[in-house]
Amino acid sequence: MAAIERGDRQRRDDAAAAGSLLAAALALPGVLPATAHAQAAPDKGIFELQYLSYRDWQPGRDRMKVDAPAFYALVPLSDTWVVEGGMVYDAMSGASPLYFNVLSGASVGDYRTAGDIKVTKYFGDYAVSVGAFVSSEQDFLSRGASVNVQLYSEDRNRTWTLGMAGTNDRINAINGVAPNSSRNSLEFLVGVTQALSPNDIVQSNLTYYTGHGYYSDPYKPLDTRPTTRETWAWLTRYNHYFEDADATLRLGYRLLFDSFGSDMNTFEVAWVQALPWGLTVTPGLRFSTQTAADFWKNPPFPRGYREGQDYTADTRLASWGAITAGVIVGKTLWDGWNLSLRADYYRQDPDWQIFGTGSPGIQTFSARWLQVNVTKDF
């Protein structure tokens, strides 16, 4: 966003320097009909290669490793048609997610292949996208489809987004728990993005998810979760570009209500600093805090378990707070090539729950991501 705005300002300055009073006058509001400008489809293609390395651990124990190469491409087919798609291949190894000090049933040594494709048609004041995705593992198959509509205001300062997606998941755990299980879900999104000034942009999205089927973790003994789930998520972001510093401040807040009872607040802040030689440095910090699911039981395992009642000892549904600290360094190379490196460190701790008490007896959990991206515009 900030880069685009700087570009506009630069073009205006160039026009003024060349002596064009008319170009300056065209910047006045309402002197020409806005309907003359239709929302343009992207006129440039993008090709992207990414490599992600993920590790997580708990005190004294290394756990999951994931190495994932990925590929993404966006190709304009004409002035109004755009197709985009991606593929990712994950190789996972290590222990399956741990709960307290007990190792779960099966060790994970698995591969995942996932892909998606989306086609967008731009019609002047609105655009419609249709997409499909699939993700396949040895014991898990997920397939889905989505429709999105974007509506642009006459002055292009506001965009409304309406979206809907449906997903079907098939679960066939290799340990024979819950054979041929499945779940189906629907997701609805309504969002608005508004440019408040050339330097300020605000976005707000509301997402509703509803699903039914098998939500338990087949590799965790006794894990029994409700067969329906609903969530409401409200996400608000605000970006401000500081001209003097040539930097953008990004703020974000997300509130999630989950029918499982595990509600989450997330606060995010990042600073995108442009530097000479086409460098950008983006330090960021995120804090999340969540309450435990209604059917979460504190350790020791399996205290609180009752036959026929919902139960989990998965720490992902416990009460805790978590901090993610990271930095992205980007560099514009030649001929539309860009390179970016990203490192993130994550730590989850029950003592960091700020809207209540953290779950007693669970261990801290740490993870790190390293990511390399190479993109080419053509």
Partner 1 sequence: MPMQRIRRTFRAMAAEHTVELAAVDPAQVHAAAQAAIDDVLRIEAKFSRYRDDSVVTAINRAAGATAVAIDAETAALLRYADQCHALSGGAFDITSGVLRRAWDFRRTPASLPDPATLAAAVALVGWDEVEWSERAIRLPRAGMEIDFGGIGKEYAADRMATICLDRGLRHGLVNLGGDVRALGPQPDGSPWRVGIRHPRVPGAAIGGFDLAEGALATSGDYERFIEVDGKRYCHILDPRTGMPVAHWQSVSVAAPLCVAAGSCATMAMLLGPDAAPFLAAQGVRWLGVSADGAIQGT
The smaller minimum CB distance to partner 1, of residues 33 and 276, is found at 33
Task: Give the count of residues interacting with partner 1 (CB under 8 A).
Answer: 20
What is the Cα–Cα distance from 234 to 228, expressed in whole angstroms? Answer: 20
What is the Cα–Cα distance from 304 to 298, expressed in whole angstroms? Answer: 8
Q: What is the H or E stretch that residue 331 is in?
A: strand 320-332
What is the Cα–Cα distance from 24 to 30, expressed in whole angstroms? Answer: 13
The piece of 18-26, 37-45, 159-167, 209-217 that touches partner 1 (CB under 8 A) is: 18-26
Q: In the window 94-113, what residues touch partner 1 (CB under 8 A)?
A: none
> Contact with partner 1 (CB under 8 A): which of 3, 4, 16, 370?
16
Using rule CB under 8 A, residue 245 touches partner 1: no
Residue found under tokens 């741990």: 98
Using rule CB under 8 A, residue 197 touches partner 1: yes
Residue found under tokens 């997330």: 266
* 69 DSSP β-pair partners: 51
Using rule CB under 8 A, residue 26 touches partner 1: yes
> Contact with partner 1 (CB under 8 A): which of 7, 11, 14, 24?
24
Q: How far is the CB of 28 from partner 1 (least distance, A)?
A: 5
Using rule CB under 8 A, residue 29 touches partner 1: yes
Contacts with 203 (C-beta within 8 Å, 6 or more apart), sequence order: 191, 192, 193, 194, 235, 236, 237, 238
What is the Cα–Cα distance from 6 to 189, expressed in whole angstroms? Answer: 31
Contacts with 197 (C-beta within 8 Å, 6 or more apart), sequence order: none
> Contact with partner 1 (CB under 8 A): which of 27, 149, 164, 354?
27
The piece of 27-35, 39-47, 49-57, 96-104 that touches partner 1 (CB under 8 A) is: 27-35
Using rule CB under 8 A, residue 22 touches partner 1: yes
The smaller minimum CB distance to partner 1, of residues 14 and 62, is found at 14
> Contact with partner 1 (CB under 8 A): which of 10, 20, 113, 138?
20
Q: In the window 35-64, what residues touch partner 1 (CB under 8 A)?
A: 35
What is the Cα–Cα distance from 250 to 175, expressed in whole angstroms? Answer: 45
Q: How far is the CB of 161 from partner 1 (least distance, A)?
A: 24
Q: How far is CA 229 from the centre of its chain?
A: 20
> Contact with partner 1 (CB under 8 A): which of 4, 25, 130, 275?
25
- Contacting positions for partner 1 (CB under 8 A): 16, 19-22, 24-35, 197-199
